[in-house]
């Protein structure tokens, strides 16, 4: 299984507002996202042994209430759902509260397993029949979700999450659907790259899946080639800011914005790590994965 720690840390930091909107809309509505800061918090997984680890993501939020209340959001990304996550999240929650003297909102994202969708879970600490602590944390289970539910959302982060759902119509269809959704959004190069990187990492196609993907891609490009040609942009259009031109693309106006290629170079910078680079649409190296122009139409 891939190590998704760094991938998700960058993804969730960049699209943190999207994450809040997906898992807890009221919190997203009251959070002043422009004031959000991210901390690299070291936690003890075992105080006796001195075992340490870093939380996947800890964000300091400012709420828009009269007191400008601060709250921490602690997010853990788990490859597999397991019974040990409840006690662990409770333990981490205690450490963060003791250290920061702030309330902590806990979230766990399960890449595989767990209840599909967003749910409150609880961890109880008991003495005989008495519950002396009732700790609740929010979970988001991806692998059993329907991809269409994420692809239909407006938050770009949801389109990356779709790649981790069950591929009911096959991995090839799912990959193309995710990339099309990303390509048509008119995002800046950095955000587009992070989303495509997540899709490519999760949906590495081989054999029949790769053949099917090529067939779907060719069908998409063939359909695009039969659409009416669009008028050339005027010089005034070319001087428009990129964000306006991207908006015009979605409306069907002429595309003058530069397209970006997402290159997954197989030249290894170190064992087990491939370099990923973003290039403007100027060259066509053999190892380049292109978001096809037909996806942008």
The domain segmentation of the chain, as residue ranges, is 5-141, 170-226+242-296
Question: Which runs of E-coded beta strand occur in 128-176?
Answer: 130-141
What is the C-alpha to C-alpha distance for residues 123 and 137, in angstroms, rounded to an integer? 8
What CA dihedral angle connects 36, 42, 44 and 50, to 10 degrees?
A: -170
Residue 247, pLDDT score:
36
Residue 241, pLDDT score:
45
Give percent helix, percent strand, percent coil of the chain, each to the nearest 5.
40, 30, 30
| CA atoms 288, 223, 189, 157: torsion sign | negative
pLDDT tens, N- to C-terminus, the chain (297 residues): 567 888 999 999 999 999 999 999 999 999 999 999 998 777 665 555 556 667 889 999 999 987 779 999 999 999 998 888 999 999 999 999 999 999 999 999 999 999 999 999 999 999 999 999 999 999 999 999 999 999 999 999 999 999 999 988 999 999 999 999 999 999 999 999 999 999 999 999 999 999 999 999 898 888 776 666 555 545 544 444 444 333 332 222 223 233 333 333 322 233 333 334 433 333 333 333 434 444 444
pTM across the whole model: 0.75
Residue 62, both tokens: 């400012």
Question: What SS3 class is residue 239?
Answer: coil
* H or E, element range at 215: helix 207-225
Beta bridge partner(s), residue 96: none
Reading across the β-sheet that carries 104-110, which strands appear in turn? Answer: 37-39, 57-62, 70-78, 104-110, 130-141, 117-127
Residues with Cβ within 8 Å of residue 158, at least 6 apart in sequence: 18, 22, 150, 151
């Amino acid at each position: 299984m891939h190590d998704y720690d760094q991938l998700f840390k960058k993804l969730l930091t960049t699209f943190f507002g999207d994450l809040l909107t997906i898992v807890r809309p009221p919190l997203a509505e009251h959070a002043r996202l422009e004031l959000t800061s991210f901390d690299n918090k070291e936690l003890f997984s075992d105080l006796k042994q001195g075992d340490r680890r870093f939380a996947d993501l800890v964000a300091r939020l400012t709420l828009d209430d009269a007191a400008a209340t601060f709250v921490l959001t602690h997010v853990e990304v788990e490859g597999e759902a397991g019974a040990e996550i409840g006690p662990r999240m409770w333990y981490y929650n205690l450490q963060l509260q003791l250290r920061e003297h702030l309330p902590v909102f806990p979230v766990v994202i399960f890449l595989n397993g767990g209840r599909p969708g967003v749910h409150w879970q609880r961890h109880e600490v008991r003495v005989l029949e008495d519950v002396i602590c009732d700790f609740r944390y929010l979970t988001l289970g991806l692998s059993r979700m329907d991809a269409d539910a994420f692809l239909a959302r407006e938050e770009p982060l949801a389109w990356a999450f779709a790649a981790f759902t069950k591929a009911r119509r096959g991995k090839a269809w799912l990959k193309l659907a995710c990339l099309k959704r990303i390509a048509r959004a008119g995002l800046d190069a950095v955000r587009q790259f992070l989303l495509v990187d997540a899709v490519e990492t999760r949906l590495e196609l081989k054999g029949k899946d790769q053949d099917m993907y090529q067939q779907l891609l060719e069908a998409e490009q063939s359909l695009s080639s039969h659409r009416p040609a669009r008028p050339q942009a005027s010089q005034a259009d070319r001087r428009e800011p990129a964000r306006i031109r991207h908006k015009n693309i979605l409306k069907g106006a002429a595309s003058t914005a530069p397209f970006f290629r997402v290159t997954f170079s197989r030249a290894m910078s170190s064992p087990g790590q491939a370099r990923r680079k973003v290039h403007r649409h100027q060259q066509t190296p053999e190892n380049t994965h292109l978001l096809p122009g037909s996806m942008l139409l």
